[in-house]
Amino acid sequence: MKFFYIYKALAHPENDGYVQPFTQAERLLHVKEARRTIGSRVPWICDTMDNALKHALGDAPNSEFVIDPEGKVVRRRQWSRPEELRRDLEELVGSVEQPTLVSDLQLKTERPSQVAAKGVVPRIERPSGLEALRIEPKLADDGDKKPVPFYAKLRAEADASLRQSGRGTLSVGFHLDPLYHVHWNNLVKPLHVEFDADEDAVTPRVWDGPRVDLDSDIDPREFLVQVNIGEERKPLGLTVKYFACSDEQGFCLAVTQRYTIHFERDPDAGRVQNRGRGGARSGGGGPTSIGTLVWVDSKESEVSVLLGNGELKTFRLSANARLMRRGSDDLRDFEPGESVRIRIEDGEITGMALP
Amino acid sequence: MCRLSGYPPPQCRANQSFQICPAKPRNFFAATVLISNPFVDETYFPICHFFPGVSMRALFAMFSFTLLATPAIFAQDNPDRREVSPRERVNRQFDAGAPKLGDSLPDIAGLTEDGQEIRLSSLKGQHTVLVFGCLT
Domains of chain A, residue spans? 5-105, 131-265, 288-353
Give the class (CATH, top level) of A131-265: mainly beta
Which range among A28-42, A148-162, A238-252 shows the weakest confidence by mean pLDDT?
A28-42
Domain count, chain B: 1
Q: ipTM, 2 decimals?
A: 0.74
Is the torsion defined by CA of A126, A131, A133, A137 positive or negative? positive
User: Residue A304, class by beta-carbon neighbours within 10 Å (0-12 exposed, 13-18 middle, 19+ buried)?
Assistant: middle
The verdict on residue B118 lying in a domain is no
Interface contact A110, partner B, CB < 8 A: no
Chain A partners of B121 at a C-beta cutoff of 8 Å? 71
User: Which residue of A10, A53, A69 is in closest CB contact with B108?
Assistant: A53
A63 and B94 within 8 Å at the Cβ level: the answer is: yes
B93 and A58 within 8 Å at the Cβ level: the answer is: yes
Residue A155: predicted pLDDT: 97
Rounded CA gap, A219 and A225, in Å? 19
Q: How far is CA B91 from the centre of its chain?
A: 21
pLDDT bin (cut points 50, 70, 90) of residue A173 is very high
B99 and A73 within 8 Å at the Cβ level: the answer is: yes
Interface contact A256, partner B, CB < 8 A: no
Chain B partners of A39 at a C-beta cutoff of 8 Å? none
Domain range for B12 is 1-105
Interface contact A23, partner B, CB < 8 A: no
pLDDT at B72 over 80: no
Kindly compute the dihedral angle of the four CA atoms of residues A141, A147, A153, A159, in this order, to the nearest 10 degrees.
Answer: 20
Kindly compute the dihedral angle of the four CA atoms of residues B106, B109, B110, B115, in this order, to the nearest 10 degrees.
Answer: 160
Interface contact B133, partner A, CB < 8 A: yes
A1 and B87 within 8 Å at the Cβ level: the answer is: no
* CA-based nearest distance A305→chain B, Å: 23
| Contact call for residues B107 and B114 (beta carbons, < 8 A) | no
Interface contact B68, partner A, CB < 8 A: no
* CA-based nearest distance B88→chain A, Å: 9
pLDDT at A144 over 90: no
Residue of chain A with shortest Cα separation from B135:
A34
| Contact call for residues A92 and B127 (beta carbons, < 8 A) | yes
A-B CB pairs within 8 A amount to 208
Best residue in A57, A330, A354 for a mutation probing chain B (most B CBs within 10 Å) = A57
* CA-based nearest distance B110→chain A, Å: 5
The verdict on residue B131 lying in a domain is no
Chain B partners of A64 at a C-beta cutoff of 8 Å? 129-132
Specify the 3-state DSSP secondary structure of B133: strand
Interface contact A44, partner B, CB < 8 A: yes
pLDDT digit string, tens, across residues A187-206: 999 999 999 999 899 999 99
Rounded CA gap, A28 and B113, in Å? 7
Best residue in A1, A7, A96 for a mutation probing chain B (most B CBs within 10 Å) = A7
pLDDT bin (cut points 50, 70, 90) of residue B15 is low
Interface contact A61, partner B, CB < 8 A: yes
- State chain B's maximal CA–CA distance in angstroms: 93
The alpha-carbon radius of gyration of chain B (Å, integer) is 33
User: Which residue of A13, A28, A73 is in closest CB contact with B113?
Assistant: A28
What's the CATH number for A288-353?
2.40.50.320
Neighbours of A81 (CB within 10 A): 15
Which range among A6-15, A19-28, A33-42, A140-149 shows the weakest confidence by mean pLDDT?
A140-149
* Eight-state DSSP code of residue B86: H
Chain A partners of B109 at a C-beta cutoff of 8 Å? 48, 52
Rounded CA gap, A275 and A14, in Å? 7
* CA-based nearest distance B63→chain A, Å: 20
Specify the 3-state DSSP secondary structure of B128: strand
In single-letter form, the type of residue at position A199 comes to E
pLDDT bin (cut points 50, 70, 90) of residue A152 is very high
Interface contact B119, partner A, CB < 8 A: no
Which range among A167-176, B3-12, B99-108 shows the weakest confidence by mean pLDDT?
B3-12
Interface contact B38, partner A, CB < 8 A: no
pLDDT at B39 over 50: no
B87 and A75 within 8 Å at the Cβ level: the answer is: no
Rounded CA gap, A354 and A324, in Å? 7
The alpha-carbon radius of gyration of chain A (Å, integer) is 23
In single-letter form, the type of residue at position B135 comes to L
pLDDT digit string, tens, across residues A102-114: 778 777 777 777 8
